[in-house]
């Protein structure tokens, strides 16, 4: 371990706490605005879209910060934004305070998430695949904890949700302040002098940039399809006579499969050293199968099987993309490209529900699922050609 290097255990604990806190908030958004604040579903959708756009900006800013500024200082500022918004929501959670504070929290959370992923690239004691797999694992443990508890707490009082989230973000702030002193901050503190001398760190090779962009294009297509599960699929299942409670159980199953499956992925990586490109190919294929199966899904069992395949694809692909982007990016641009990973995810969640709604309105759910398959197959096929056919040349 390099002197001053952040310990992985503290990074994982921070990720777990932040993810748990975030998972107390996002499941409530649409229901709270519609049922408690008497706003239309369209209004709730607009708020979520604005939040996603703001999170894209936050992800870009987080990457910029890591590469050029004091990442710990700005990480604490970002966590402070989330803390402040949650504290105010305890006392002021009506309309329009709730959506405004929700967007502020999203901006702070996006900056913090990107910096956390970027800090993971500075850990040299462990293989990058292990680091990102563990980050993904702890984040999803937080999702399971948050989404399981929020249903019980909201029945008592909505203010308790914001109280608990504020306390969790406060713990995250304390951990970040004490343990996230990034050695790279010292390297980046004299930014203007470095620019003047031309010393900006190792830049990413042009060919690697092209590979990263097409992999992230496929990631965007997958996230657009994945966002249908979190939005339009709930309505579709209800039209088929499947209760909303059964839809919620699918997400519980999703979280449990991730928590159980991630250690297995770590075991395979450690003992068999599976090529990262191969893992991504397998993940792309699984998402293609899952989205294709939705075209024919008309009963609950089909949706269960589809969710299982989606989750397997998610476990294999999502953390591997962050790890591969880390390996392909230059030392002076780690934050920038980890920011692009977060941007691809946020953009998919921003445009996915809206795009899906338009396609359903013009055509049908089956057409929507078919288009999702085409998007993943096309972008994934180009990525395979770039990384699979030309990839071996990199080793010469």
Greater confidence (259 vs 215) lies with 215
DSSP string, 28-47: GHHHIIIIIS---HHHHHHH
For residue 188, pLDDT over 70 is answered with: no
Fill in the DSSP letter of residue 69: S
How far apart are the C-alpha atoms of 260 and 315, rounded to whole Å? Answer: 10
Contacts of 274 (CB under 8 A, 6+ apart): 268
φ/ψ of 251, rounded to 5, equals: -75, -30
Verdict on whether the full-model pTM lies above 0.85: no
Domain range 201-389, CATH class: mainly alpha
On the question of a common fold for 1-185 and 201-389, the answer reads yes
Indicate the pLDDT class of residue 192, thresholds 50, 70 and 90: very low
How far apart are the C-alpha atoms of 258 and 140, rounded to whole Å? Answer: 7
Dump pLDDT digits (tens) for 319-369: 889 888 888 888 778 888 888 888 888 888 888 877 888 888 888 889 999
* Domain 1-185, CATH number (from 3.40.228.10, 1.20.1250.20, 1.25.40.20, 3.50.30.50): 1.20.1250.20
Pull the structure tokens for residue 217.
């294009």
What is each CA distance from 280 to 122, 266, 312, 345, in whole angstroms? Answer: 23, 15, 12, 16
Report yes or no: 296 and 374 within 8 Å, Cβ to Cβ: no
Dump pLDDT digits (tens) for 90-148: 999 899 999 999 999 999 999 998 899 888 888 888 877 788 888 888 888 887 788 77
Fill in the DSSP letter of residue 330: -
How far apart are the C-alpha atoms of 314 and 312, rounded to whole Å? Answer: 5
Contacts of 120 (CB under 8 A, 6+ apart): 11, 128, 131, 132, 135, 322, 326
Dump pLDDT digits (tens) for 208-231: 888 889 899 999 999 999 888 877
Q: Where are the domains of the chain?
A: 1-185, 201-389
For residue 89, pLDDT over 90 is answered with: yes
Nearest to 47 by CA among 107, 109, 89, 100: 100
Nearest to 100 by CA among 173, 41, 37, 14: 37
């Amino acid at each position: 371990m390099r002197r001053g290097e952040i310990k992985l255990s503290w990074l994982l604990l921070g990720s777990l706490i932040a993810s748990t806190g975030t998972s107390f908030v996002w499941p409530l958004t649409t229901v709270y605005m519609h049922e408690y604040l008497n706003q239309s579903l369209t209004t709730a959708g607009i708020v979520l879209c604005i939040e996603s756009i703001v999170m894209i900006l936050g992800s870009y800013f987080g990457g910029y910060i890591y590469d050029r500024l004091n990442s710990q200082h700005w990480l604490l500022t970002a966590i402070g934004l989330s803390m402040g918004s949650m504290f105010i929501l305890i006392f002021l959670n009506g309309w329009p305070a709730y959506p405004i504070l929700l967007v502020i929290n999203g901006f702070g959370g996006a900056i913090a998430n990107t910096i956390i992923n970027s800090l993971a690239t500075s850990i040299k004691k462990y293989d990058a695949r292990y680091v990102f797999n563990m980050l993904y694992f702890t984040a999803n443990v937080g999702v399971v904890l948050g989404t399981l508890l929020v249903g019980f707490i909201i029945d008592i009082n909505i203010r308790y949700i914001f109280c608990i989230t504020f306390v969790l973000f406060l713990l995250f702030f304390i951990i970040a302040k004490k343990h996230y002193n990034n050695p790279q901050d010292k390297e980046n503190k004299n930014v203007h002098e470095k620019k003047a001398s031309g010393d900006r760190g190792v830049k990413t090779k042009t060919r690697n940039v092209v590979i990263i962009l097409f992999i992230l294009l496929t990631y965007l297509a997958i996230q657009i399809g994945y966002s249908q599960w979190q939005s339009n699929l709930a309505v579709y299942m209800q039209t088929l006579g499947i209760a909303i409670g059964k839809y919620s159980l699918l997400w519980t199953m999703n979280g449990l499969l991730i928590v159980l499956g991630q250690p297995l992925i770590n075991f395979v990586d450690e003992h068999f050293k599976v090529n990262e490109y191969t893992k991504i190919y397998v993940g792309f294929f699984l998402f293609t199968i899952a989205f294709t199966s939705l075209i024919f899904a008309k009963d609950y069992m089909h949706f269960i099987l589809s969710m299982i395949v989606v989750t397997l694809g998610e476990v294999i692909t999502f953390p591997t993309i962050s790890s591969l982007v880390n390996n392909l990016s230059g030392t002076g641009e780690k934050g920038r490209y980890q920011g692009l990973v977060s941007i691809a995810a946020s953009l998919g969640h921003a445009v996915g529900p809206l795009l899906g709604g338009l396609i359903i309105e013009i055509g049908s759910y089956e057409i929507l699922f078919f288009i999702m398959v085409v998007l993943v197959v096309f972008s994934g096929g180009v990525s395979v050609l770039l990384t699979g056919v030309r990839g071996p040349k990199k080793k010469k």
